[in-house]
Amino acid sequence: MEYPQTLYHPHPRQSFSNPEPGLIRRLLARVIDYQLIFILLLFCDFLVEGLITTNLHWFSKQVYEIPTQPMTLVLLSLLFVGYFILFHTLDGQTPGKFICGIRVAAKENRSPNAKPVCPNLARNILREAGWLFSLMLGGWLLLMVFLNRNRRGLHDWLGCSVVRGA
């Protein structure tokens, strides 16, 4: 007796890997990246003999007036944002996303067999601006990843990007 092929082969849409990773894998990749940025910061601080942490000492106290080293905070912000913009523009993956097996791709990339196209620089800048805006509002906008079936947050909508399994 011959059995139908559907008993042995899954439906073409079914897949064992999740093409749209949820918030947990995405946040885990972000935490890994933050740790790598912190290690990079410590290495840079070692190279400049503690100048960065000395300038950030004002941040740990109560600030009653404008700090004397605001450029240090601006440079740190640029380091964080630039890290993500650079890696997402070059290959669509940061080291944390590589470890978690996810990749940022442009939304126009519809073919499942084609290599994902990375978002351009302008879209990645908008994407990171959306991420920072979501964080400034307490992270509530990041829950959009759970609320829509495409698993896209505000930062993905602004950057016209999707996060897929690598």
Compute how many other C-beta atoms are within 10 angstroms of the C-beta atom of residue 93: 21
What pLDDT is recorded for position 59?
Answer: 56
Query: Could you give the 3-state DSSP secondary structure of residue 156?
Result: helix
pLDDT digits (tens, 9 = 90+) for 1-43: 555 554 444 444 444 444 667 778 888 998 999 999 888 878 8
Domain definitions of the chain by residue range: 20-60+68-165
Q: Is the pTM of this model over 0.85?
A: no
Cα atoms in the Cβ-side hemisphere of radius 13 Å centred on 159: 31
Across residues 97-120, what is the average pLDDT? 80
Distance CA 104, CA 20 (A): 10
d(CA 121, CA 89): 6
